Amino acid sequence: MSGDCGVLIALTDAQVEQVLREAAGRPHPGSLLPEIGEVDVLSGAVLALLQDESCSRSALRALLVLNALPPDGSWRELTAIATELGISPSTTHRYMHTWLALGLVQRHPRSRRYRRDRVQDGSAQRAGTRGGADAG
């Protein structure tokens, strides 16, 4: 037997994406958004702008959907978010799918629950995966 002590490391899809993004020098999309400490501040600003016809209602509603996810990383049901915001579940799902594709949210692998992806110090520090098995 040779002295080869190979080590196998399994990475999730999200971890592979993170490695490739960092190798290419691209920041995590979440690091491009300002940190919002007060969730109510963003909601209040967005809700006020929904009446302004010069603003994109779709973009503002997408921000409300993202903002409906707790900053502490806890999971929320898609239908609860849709009901809370008065947006159809299918529209809410499209917004979530977009945030998921950008790496800003994670989807629970066995439910329609979502949570914010955890981004710290401008780099992705994931506690789970895009479809992470770590139910919280």
Give 43's DSSP letter.
Answer: H
Q: Do residues 61 and 87 make contact, with C-beta atoms less than 8 angstroms apart? A: yes
Q: Do residues 9 and 1 make contact, with C-beta atoms less than 8 angstroms apart? A: no
Q: Per-residue confidence of the chain (136 residues) as pLDDT tens digits?
A: 556 677 878 877 767 776 776 777 655 555 545 444 444 566 777 777 888 888 898 998 998 999 899 888 899 999 999 999 999 999 999 999 999 988 889 999 888 899 988 653 333 443 334 444 444 4
Domains of the chain: 13-124 (1.10.10.10)
For residues 81 and 117, what is the distance between their CA atoms, to the nearest angstrom?
A: 17
Rounded to two decimals, the pTM is 0.61
**β-bridge partners, 120:** 123
